[in-house]
Amino acid sequence: MIELRHVQKQYQSGSHTTYALHDIDLSIEQGEIFGIIGHSGAGKSTLLRSINLLERPTAGSVVVDGVELTALSTKQLQEQRRRIGMIFQHFNLLSSATVEENVAFPLKLIKTPKAEVNQRVRELLELVGLTEQSRKYPAQLSGGQKQRVGIARALATNPHVLLCDEATSALDPQTTNSILSLLLDINRKLRITIVLITHEMHVIRSICDRVAVIHQGRIIEQGPVAEVFLKPRHEVTKQFIEQVADSIDFRDEKLSPDSTILKINFLGESTYEPILSRVVQETGVTFSILQGTISRMKSTPYGQLVVKIEGPRQAADDTVSLLIERGLDVEVYEHGLG
């Protein structure tokens, strides 16, 4: 659906070259929600805007829907961009136009017949829940309503791809959740591919299927959200995960010679199964929970437990082996001195 191959973006200032993007390879599938997360200045906005060539790469190729955008003429590129909608952090609405006029604007630009414009606007305002606000102006709307107008406008030309440039960063948490729910609903109903950038792991965890982590213009980690979230490899990724995960300091935890601290990750239906209880009955160790959470990544349940088990070292090792055999991800934090 979307292919970025060896994409680079560099800026020249005299003899000094700055790389905003360096050798980016990404493949995004039809119908998925793909997240790109990074700190400010990491290159995520440049990467997103490279997909529709608002930022033209210095090198590499961008293919969307089988069409290599980097090989098109200006006129051909304008036509292809109709298949790529975009929403922005600060909405970018026309302040002197009503809600319905804002949504209709892209259709009028391509000289769509008036009856078709009116029908499409009605459909989109119903989709985003703004039918009753159609005659209002942006100044009369809340931040969440403005973003809903932006989403409706971006969908006006029936795009195959929706790019979201920090679409929830200017919103409060409750409104953010409502916009994320709307994007998820749009993805399910229209099967539109959504690519979003953010610096908030909560956004990634809530609606994305896969995620790429960008740092200093490079993709340092990518994969399914659950895999990246539960088994982060890069230190930057671990920092983002700390945004949504409570941390616990075990340095002051008193360990007996027969103590072992484990971190256990559950994913999917195993989250609700008594696997740990069954295993400790088999191995004869006892356990106490130091920390535990159950949440969801998009529609997939997951859980994380940090437990202290008490028992001989061999029994502790057997417990770890059985938990892994039964499909859980287990990390040994610390053994006692037994």
Write down the domain spans for the chain: 2-241, 259-335
- Under a CB-based contact definition with an 8 Å cutoff, are residues 27 and 3 in contact? yes
Work out the average pLDDT over 114-127: 97
Domain 2-241: CATH architecture, name and number where available: 3-Layer(aba) Sandwich (3.40)
Kindly tell me if the per-residue pLDDT of 232 is higher than 70. Answer: yes
Q: Let me know how long the chain is.
A: 338
E-strand stretches of 74-217 = 84-88, 161-165, 193-198, 210-215
First-residue to last-residue Cα distance in the chain: 55
Whole-number Å distance between alpha carbons of 214 and 44: 7
Per-chain mean pLDDT for the chain: 91
Among 20-24, 31-35, 267-271, 277-281, the least confident range: 267-271
**3 state SS of 259:** strand
Rounded to whole angstroms, the Cα distance separating 219 from 37 reads: 10
Q: pTM value? A: 0.86
CA distances from 64 to 1, 106, 161, 162, 202 (A): 6, 20, 9, 12, 28
Residues pairing with 64 in the sheet:
2, 67
Average pLDDT over residues 10-15: 87
For residue 37, give every residue at least 6 positions away whose Cβ sits within 8 Å of its Cβ, in sequence order, or none.
Answer: 44, 197, 198, 199, 200, 201, 204, 211, 212, 213, 214, 240
Residue 336 has pLDDT above 80, yes or no: no
Question: Of all helices (H) and strands (E), which one includes residue 240?
Answer: helix 235-241
Determine the 3-state secondary structure of 183 from DSSP: helix
Where does residue 65 fall: left (phi above 0), alpha (psi -120 to 50 degrees), or beta otherwise?
left
22: confidence class by pLDDT, cuts 50, 70, 90: very high
Determine the Cα–Cα distance for residues 335 and 222; give it in Å rounded to an integer. Answer: 32
Instruction: Tell whether the model's pLDDT for residue 250 goes beyond 60.
Output: no
The CA-atom distances, in angstroms, between 243 and each of 3, 9, 37, 74, 326 are 30, 29, 12, 42, 29
108-134 mean pLDDT: 96
Q: According to the model, what pLDDT value does residue 224 have?
A: 93
Asked whether the predicted pLDDT for residue 337 surpasses 60, the reply is: no
Q: What mean pLDDT do residues 261-277 have?
A: 87
CATH number for the domain whose boundaries are 259-335: 3.30.70.260
Residues 6+ apart with CB under 8 A from 228: 211, 213, 221, 222, 237
Q: Is the pLDDT of residue 247 over 60?
A: no
28 with 1: CB under 8 angstroms?
Answer: yes
Distance CA 24, CA 214 (A): 10
Higher-scoring residue by pLDDT: 271, 274: 274
Cross-strand pairs, 210: 34, 224
Q: What is the mean pLDDT of residues 94-109?
A: 96
State the pLDDT at residue 278.
93
Question: Who wins on pLDDT, 243 or 188?
Answer: 188
Segment 297-324 mean pLDDT? 89
- pLDDT score for 249: 54
